[in-house]
Structure 1
Amino acid sequence: MLWVKSFHIVFVTSWFAGLFYLPRIFVNLAMMPPESVAERERLLLMARKLMRFTTMLAVPALGLGLWLWLGYGIGRGAGNGWLHAKLAVVVLILGYHHACGVLLRQFVRGTNRRDHRWFRWFNEAPVIMLVLVVLLVVVKPF
């Protein structure tokens, strides 16, 4: 079980690294002047590759988490409300990940309507969600 936990933590950490960096690329894309075609294409390439890699990391992170939950029974029984709260936050994180994909497609099509300030705020969401997950797992308040 400790091996599964260890790999779960590594994959989740790597997944979050991508979720932290991808919106920073969006900030740069939103600030890009229309005449900077080469720079825009390079940032889009970086964003596409990062999105693909981040998605590839999310799959084992979620799979190992499910293994811990269903296979080892972590979080089952009385006094484990923290896991339900954590799973709710994980659903929010998955929604954020999906939203990043939608925003990337908007940049690719050239239909983004948001400015760089919006993306700076959007970039803060995964930090808040990560703090919630860590607090729920370590403190187990419920």
Structure 2
Amino acid sequence: MGDILASAYPWVKSLHVISVIAWMAGIFYLPRLFVRHTESVKQGSEADILFQDMELKLLKLIMNPAMISTWIFGLCLVMTPGIVDWTSGWSWIKAGSVIAMTWFHHWLGLRRKEFVAGTNTRTGRQYRMMNELPTLLMIIIVIMIIAKPF
């Protein structure tokens, strides 16, 4: 298995980066939709239904497949011999940050369900503040994987 992963490494890494870019685009955009949905849309209106549809499609058609493919290709990279040194701190910090990003993804999915149920209690400001979390996690992940400071 290691030989196959080693020979496919450039392709797997390429597909991983493509998946991460798609996932991050959605993770940055969905909270912004929630801000506009919260601040500018009356519950039950045509715009409310339109926002719910956009949020659903972004989550189900872009973000979920991108997250799944990010994990699959990332795990393939981790299993490639000589790629990850698990005795180094950077690998654990990066892994924890990816898990946190996955938690945020699911948190967004739960918030979307609240909009559908008409039970959203968060403000646009709260969604703006939460939108800083994936930026922080992205910075940590990129530094850990490229600079490997620990």
TM range (shorter): over 0.9
1:14 aligns with 2:17: no
SS at match of 1:113: coil
**Alignment match, 1:23:** 31
| 1:130 equivalent among 114, 135, 138 | 138
Map residues 63-102 of structure 1 onto 2, 5 A cutoff.
63-76=72-85, 78=87, 80-102=88-110
Distance apart, 1:76 and its partner CA = 2.8
Contact 1:30–1:116 (CA under 8 A) maintained in structure 2: yes
> Deviations 1:49-77 (Å, cap 9, x if unpaired)?
00112011111111010001013342135
Structure 1 consecutive aligned stretches of length 4 or more whose deviation exceeds 6 Å: none
Distance across 2 between alignment mates of 1:96 and 1:35: 25
Q: Which runs of 5+ in 2 are unaligned?
A: 1-8
Aligned-pair identity in percent equals: 33
Specify the SS of the correspondent of 1:129.
helix
How far, CA to CA, are the matches of 1:33 and 1:19 in structure 2? 21
Q: Say if 2:149 is the partner of 1:141.
A: yes
When the two structures are aligned, how many residues end up with a matched partner? Answer: 141
Q: CA deviation at 1:36?
A: 6.7
- Distance in 2 of aligned mates of 1:28 and 1:83: 37
How far, CA to CA, are the matches of 1:33 and 1:75 in structure 2?
A: 47
TM-score by structure 1 length? 0.93
1:39 is the counterpart of 2:38: no
Q: Any idea what the Cα deviations from partners look like across 1:63-102, whole Å, max 9, x if unmatched? A: 0100010133421354x32111100000100100010000
Go from structure 1 to structure 2 and tell me whether the alpha carbon gap of 1:26 and 1:35 turns closer, same or farther (over 3 Å shift). closer
- TM-score w.r.t. the length of structure 2 is 0.88
Q: Which runs of 5+ in 1 are unaligned?
A: none
